[in-house]
Amino acid sequence: MPPGVLLVLLLPCLWWLTVPLLVGYQLARTARRTARRVFPVRPEGLVEDPEVLRVQRVRAWGALVISGLLLAVFGGWQDVWEAQGQVLEGLLFAPWLALLSAVLVVALLFWVARPGTRRAMRTKLWRAGRSGLWYFGAWTLVPLLLTAASKGMGLLPSSANGLSGVLLWASVMFVCWAPFWWVVFFLCFATGPALRHAFNLSALHAALPALVTTVLVWVLAFRGLSSGGLPPGPVPLAVCAFLGGPASVTALAWWEIHRLRRRHGVRWRG
Mean pLDDT for back-to-back runs of 10 residues, the chain (270 residues) = 47 60 84 89 73 85 82 69 68 78 80 72 74 85 86 67 62 80 90 81 77 85 77 79 86 85 66
User: Position 35: which residue type?
Assistant: A
Q: Alpha carbon of 141 to those of 79, 100, 148: distances in Å?
A: 34, 20, 10
C-alpha triplet 207, 103, 220: angle, nearest 5°:
85
> What's the pLDDT at 2?
53
> What's the pLDDT at 30?
92
> What's the pLDDT at 32?
92
CB-CB neighbours of 189 under 10 Å: 18
Q: 19: which residues sit within 8 A by CB, 6+ positions away?
A: 170
Global pTM? Answer: 0.72
Q: Alpha carbon of 56 to those of 125, 126, 218, 243, 262: distances in Å?
A: 27, 29, 17, 17, 19
For residue 75, the surrounding DSSP H or E stretch is none
> What's the pLDDT at 92?
73
pLDDT tens, residue by residue, 136-179: 888 888 888 888 888 877 766 666 565 555 666 667 777 788 88
Rg (C-alpha) for the chain, rounded Å, is 24
Question: What does the alpha-carbon distance between residue 205 and residue 226 come to, in Å, rounded to a whole number?
Answer: 33
> What's the pLDDT at 162?
56
Question: What does the alpha-carbon distance between residue 89 and residue 93 come to, in Å, rounded to a whole number?
Answer: 6
> What's the pLDDT at 135?
86
